[in-house]
Amino acid sequence: LAGLTLACLYGAYKFKHRGTMSTSVFLMQLRVAAQGTVVACLTAGIGYSLFKDYVLKSDEVKKD
């Protein structure tokens, strides 16, 4: 939630100080950045899940 709040505040700040860029172009760039962030977070979550299931699980089996 803190990350979402910071991202929204940053977006609002950049929108206010966008200069001569049109609103539609700015919102398009903001949407692409948001989609990239979602893909990166999903990739990190899947990577962590695979690491936990396959790497750490094999360590537990060796201990027994």
Residues 1-41: tens digit of each pLDDT: 777 788 888 888 988 988 898 999 999 998 898 888 889 98
Q: Where are the domains of the chain?
A: 1-61
- What pTM, to 2 d.p., does this model score? 0.68
Residue 64's pLDDT band, with cuts at 50, 70 and 90, is low
Mean pLDDT of 43-62: 85
Q: Which candidate, 59, 16, 51, places its Cα nearest to that of 8?
A: 16
Q: Looking at residue 60, what is its pLDDT?
A: 63
CB atoms within 10 A of CB 28: 11
Q: Which long-range contacts (CB under 8 A, 24 or more apart) does 28-33 make?
A: none
Alpha helices in 1-64 (DSSP H): 2-16, 23-50, 57-63
In the structure encoding, which two tokens stand for residue 6, read together?
A: 């910071």
